[in-house]
Amino acid sequence: MSSASTTAQTLPDGVVTLADHEFHARGLLDEAVWAYFNGGAADELTLRANAQAWQTIELLPRVMRQLSGGHTRVNLLGREWPHPILVAPMAYQRLAHPHAEQATALAAAALGAGLVLSTQASTLLEDVARTVLPEPDRGPLWFQLYLLPDRGFMKTLVQRAEAAGFDALVLTVDAPVQGARDRERRAGFRRPADITAVNLVGRVAPSPLSLRPGQSRLFDDLMTHAPTWDDIAWLRSITRLPVLLKGVVHPLDARQALSCGAAGVIVSNHGGRTLDTMPATATLLPRVMQAVAGDAPVLVDGGIRRGTDVLKAMALGASAVLVGRPVLHGLANAGATGVAHVLRLLRDELEISMALTGCRTLSHAAATLSHA
């Protein structure tokens, strides 16, 4: 589908916040699909904590400051971008809307937002790149990976991303196995046969091992293929693109990532979908910032629902933020129009928050926190 064929849709009446988008999308999506997109692991404590943690951080305004000429621009991986908001990698967006990742890409490019395309996208990566790259005011275009055992296929996939024009690779490192997603299982989610990870067609999955009595299918089979730090060197050896690691939450892992040549790290608990009872990302971010000590960009996702949350993340030292589920809600509500509205709301609220705290540029964001 080309961008020209993305028919504009109208937003539902009364949608003026990201919470409104979530409310309306809830009535549009199948119960099982809703559970897949919005559910978390186990008791969903981390899922809820992510949003709550941003809400508890307080802003302290300064008044009567000279703010003319202020802006939201940021520098990331050697380039200047319009603002620090990126769309997080999310799989199978065709479950939310027929135009899927193509609609999300169109909206992100038009709004100057970055886009991290999931390796499990339901749209070809080349089609997404052709939508984003012509936009002169676009944000970053990154491709997310899981390290698969089929190294030949992985190399080809990385080469495809390079040839298509992606700016960087994002390696997800915090999900060697899927979390215990109870809500998803209760709802009986099954991915429809006609919605597939089209960019992974042709990969060869390893055959299950024959286990002896008492052996674990997880530890003695599946985890034998799980990536390790040594694999980062291999990935960097096959690409000219910078590699960021997503899912780094421990300070020692952050330092290890940089020693392995990572161009940056993304503080993420996978939206509360993997290990429940993890701390919120707003709590984890300062620890990682201290460990990285300015040697590389640190991004953060998880629970960001307001422009004030974006400002708080930047105040804590983040280089940019990623937003996930609200984008899916906007997509379900009105395709590209809905996604654009979500991104526009976040940027507008960010600018309002900056103006009301006396913050002219995001390089001064730290002074907006009440404990600064």
- What residue segments make up the domains of the chain, in order of their start? 21-58+74-202+225-366
Q: Which amino acid is at 129?
A: A
| 21 assigned to active site | no
- Taking each helix axis from N to C terminus, what angle separates 45-56 and 281-292, rounded to the nearest 10 degrees? 70
- Band of residue 214 on the pLDDT scale cut at 50, 70, 90: confident
Residue pair 323/350 in contact by the 8 Å Cβ criterion: no
Q: Which residue do the tokens 């460990």 mark?
A: 291
pLDDT tens readout for residues 94-138: 999 999 999 999 999 999 999 999 999 999 999 999 999 999 999
pLDDT tens, 128-158? 999 999 999 999 999 999 998 899 999 999 9
Q: What is the DSSP letter of 184?
A: H
Average pLDDT over residues 229-246: 96
Compute the residue count for the chain: 372
The predicted structure's pLDDT at residue 30: 95
pTM: 0.94
User: Quick one: which of 190, 86, 185 has its CA closest to 143?
Assistant: 86
User: Could you tell me the two tokens for 171?
Assistant: 């390696």
Catalytic residue among 21, 97, 99, 270: 270
Q: Is the pLDDT confidence value at 322 over 50? A: yes
Radius of gyration (C-alpha) of the chain in whole angstroms:
20
pLDDT value, residue 221: 63
| pLDDT tens track for 156-200 | 999 999 999 999 999 999 988 888 899 999 999 999 999 999 999
Does the domain spanning 21-58+74-202+225-366 belong to CATH 1.10.520.10?
A: no
Q: What is the mean pLDDT of residues 233-248?
A: 97
Q: Check whether 1 has a pLDDT greater than 70.
A: no
**Long-range contacts at 212-215 (CB < 8 A, ≥ 24 apart):** none
* Band (233; pLDDT cuts 50, 70, 90): very high
Angle at 305 between CA 300 and CA 310, to 5 degrees: 50
What tokens were used for 209? 């091992």
Q: How far apart are CA 249 and CA 268, in angstroms?
A: 7
